[in-house]
Amino acid sequence: MNITKFYEDFNIFYASEGDRHYRPGWINVECPFCTGNPGFHLGWNLENNYFYCHRCGHHWDCPTIAKLIGVSKKEAQQILKQYKIGKPRVAKEVKVKIRAKSHKFPSGAMLLTDRHKLYLEKRGFDPDRLEREWNLFGTGPVAMLDGINYKHRIIAPVFWNGMRVTFQARDITGKHRLKYMACPQDRELVHHKDILYGKQTAWNGTGIAVEGIFDVFRFGVSAFATFGIKYTSSQVRFIAKMFQRVTIVFDPEEQALKQANKLMNELKFRNVQANVMSGLDNDPASMKQDDADYLVKTILK
């Protein structure tokens, strides 16, 4: 299916190569579900044939087509057949891809300095334990990779199937507009949104789904992160494959809880016993460690 033909026939403007909204492997348009957040966030994945909004997450083919062009779902189904949108696809394992550029850390990556450790201590973490258990590194005032500045950050390597495939970088100054930065995509051996963060070898039947890496640090080896509330279909498949029971502990904001409930329903559809933990006053990473430990014990009963 050439989805550009569908967009052109219905006068839907899409981001083309050279446009700042263009992403290789995707055709992006304005998302009709993101009310109040204009932008080319809704992408059609050219390899696996699905819609995914980089703000509000996965959307099924039929309601998305109906919303895009203002028709009924019955009419949208006919359009799906006409343009062969959403043809059946087989779920497949994420494989390490051969990249033109090798995977590596930013320049100047080092063991955690006193400044990195002070940041972690202020957030209620044991820096020596995190450095040892999660293989953390740090960057100083000079830290570049492919022209991207990663200065003054904590670098968390991401492992999948025993191999380091990407990394996340957390600002420690509180001054950078981006708290988290990912590894450049063409240096990721596996794209971070295709996998989960955590101790893969320690996972068993019960898991705790959280948003970010620091939430995992707080809850420990039973937790896994989706790298934000905008989870992907690949991540849902892996969660369903690896866990029989999942408690979702996202931030207490309205949009995060909405996504948590959406994830819960998708997991239940895949026969996973899933529930959403509500009532938190703040994000899980800001909990006191004793309180987090007690919550984990309660969940794992």
What's phi and psi for 84, nearest 5 deg? 55, 45
Structure tokens at 243: 């866990």
Give the pLDDT confidence score for residue 255 in this predicted structure: 93
CA angle 238/242/247 to nearest 5° reads 95
Greatest alpha-carbon span in the chain:
62
* Distance between start and end Cα atoms, the chain: 48
CA angle 95/135/282 to nearest 5° reads 95
Give domain limits for the chain: 3-83, 114-194, 200-299
51 with 31: CB under 8 angstroms?
no
pTM for this model (two decimals):
0.69
Give the pLDDT confidence score for residue 214 in this predicted structure: 98
Provide CATH code, domain 200-299: 3.40.1360.10
Low-confidence residues in the chain, pLDDT < 50: 88-91
Residues in the chain: 301
Quick: pLDDT tens for 171-201: 999 999 899 999 999 999 999 999 999 999 8
| Class of domain 114-194 as given by CATH | alpha beta
Give the pLDDT confidence score for residue 90 in this predicted structure: 43
Provide CATH code, domain 3-83: 3.90.580
Give the pLDDT confidence score for residue 88 in this predicted structure: 46
